[in-house]
Structure 1
Amino acid sequence: MAKRLIPCLNRVLVEKIVPPSKTNSGILLPEKTTKLNSGKVVAVGPGARDRDGNLVPVSVKEGDVVLLPEYGGTEVKLGDKEYHLFRDDDILGTLHE
């Protein structure tokens, strides 16, 4: 049975993107060029309430590729996959091609 995690409040479940360490032709890439800390949003919570009780939705959606802080987040293991749980405010931005 596969488990699915739905984050609470303004939390976002992210699967980190591991950049390739070498090109298709076998050329090894330096570690600095592969260091971009990004991930794909797998699930989002409904949002948090402001002081007036209004729901403030999460700023990213499932499928977005986001830039993550170097440190932080909570590691979550579901089955054999590893994910990270971040608050919406901890996500630095979305990446677009």
Structure 2
Amino acid sequence: MAKRLAPLLNRVLVEKIVPPSKTSAGILLPEKTAQLNSGKVVAVGPGARNRDGQLVPVSVKEGDTVLLPEYGGTEVKLGDKEYHLYRDDDILGTLHD
């Protein structure tokens, strides 16, 4: 049975992007230079309510590539895949080509 996680409130489910460890020519890259802490948004919650009771939607959408903080998030394992759950305001920005 496949499980699907639907985040609540202003939570965002992210699958971290693992950078390649070597170039197409076969040159091994040092671990630190290859890392950009980014991920792909898999699912988003509906948003949180402000003091007036109005719904404030999440600022990212499914499929966005986002820049993540170095620490934080909650690790979630669904089947054989590993995801991280962040609050919307913990995400540092979106990455565009």
TM-score band, normalised by the shorter chain? over 0.9
Is 2:34 the partner of 1:34? yes
Alignment partners' CA distance in 2, 1:44 and 1:65: 13
Query: CA-atom RMSD, angstroms?
Result: 0.6
4+ residue runs of structure 1 moved beyond 6 angstroms?
none
Q: Provide the secondary structure at the position in 1 that maps to 2:77.
A: strand
Letter in 2 for 1:61: K
Aligned to 2:71: 71
Aligned to 1:6: 6
Alignment partners' CA distance in 1, 2:34 and 2:6: 30
Q: Provide the secondary structure at the position in 2 that maps to 1:32.
A: helix
What is the TM-score with the length of structure 2 in the denominator? 0.98
Q: Provide the secondary structure at the position in 2 that maps to 1:28.
A: coil
Alignment partners' CA distance in 1, 2:55 and 2:65: 24
Q: Which runs of 5+ in 1 are unaligned?
A: none
| Number of residues of Structure 1 aligned to a counterpart in Structure 2 | 97
Aligned to 2:46: 46
Letter in 1 for 2:74: T
Q: Which runs of 5+ in 2 are unaligned?
A: none
Partner deviation per Cα, 1:34-56 (whole Å, 9 max, x = no partner): 12100000000000000000000
Letter in 2 for 1:20: P
1:25 offset after TM fit, Å?
1.9
1:31 offset after TM fit, Å?
2.0
Aligned identity (percent) is: 89
What is the TM-score with the length of structure 1 in the denominator? 0.98
